[in-house]
Structure 1
């Protein structure tokens, strides 16, 4: 089955460290960012705020080196296996998921 993109031609993509299996981040991809990822070997997203390609690490040097791409059972989300060069999060943390949800304070 072909991938199912949303109404904006995007699909959510979870990035996981290929070696440690730690979840690193969630980004959005489209056909152009997927082509760029395969062509360059660097994980590339579609920036929803800037409406342009976003090659992770291009400005910070913290690239995500592409290993493989997997789709879920409903063809509507992706799992990107990558080898990170440095921290993935813009806060300089290894992962964007470094904060645990506090039920009392975080849930409305």
Structure 2
């Protein structure tokens, strides 16, 4: 029997759904990424958040190369069935730039500026 959540999701024409990751205990919005059916199923089965990487055309298990893992606390579907909200525990930083979250740029006095500095140098996150 198919999972009720998976059955209710309205994937787009590419088989994807946007997923917002939010820190479960503080409400901090961390990032947005895409999931396909396999990513949702794996996330629900393992409790470790898995996304679909459009650039790599492959499943992307958050933290597999950086160590900055997201553990799932709850996965919610919006009223239209076309956006997911993952309440997570973020280990370390969520952004590939080394910042806590991906929303570090804001409009200030007509200019787009960085409002948060990297906490971790990106090159240390992705050692080859």
* CA distance 1:103–1:40, shift in 2 (3 Å): farther
- Structure 1 vs Structure 2 CA RMSD: 1.5
Q: Report Cα offsets for 1:59-85 as digits up to 9, x if no partner.
A: 110000011111111111010000001
Tell me, in whole angstroms, the C-alpha distance in 2 between the residues paired with 1:27 and 1:69.
Answer: 14
Q: Which residue number corresponds to residue 72 of structure 1?
A: 78
- Structure 2 residue runs without a partner (length 5+): 1-6, 113-128
Q: What is the aligned residue count?
A: 106
Runs of 4+ displaced beyond 2 Å: 101-106
- Structure 1 residue runs without a partner (length 5+): none
TM-score, normalised relative to structure 1: 0.91
* CA distance 1:35–1:103, shift in 2 (3 Å): farther
TM-score, normalised relative to structure 2: 0.78
Aligned counterpart in structure 1 of residue 18 of structure 2, from 3, 9, 12: 12
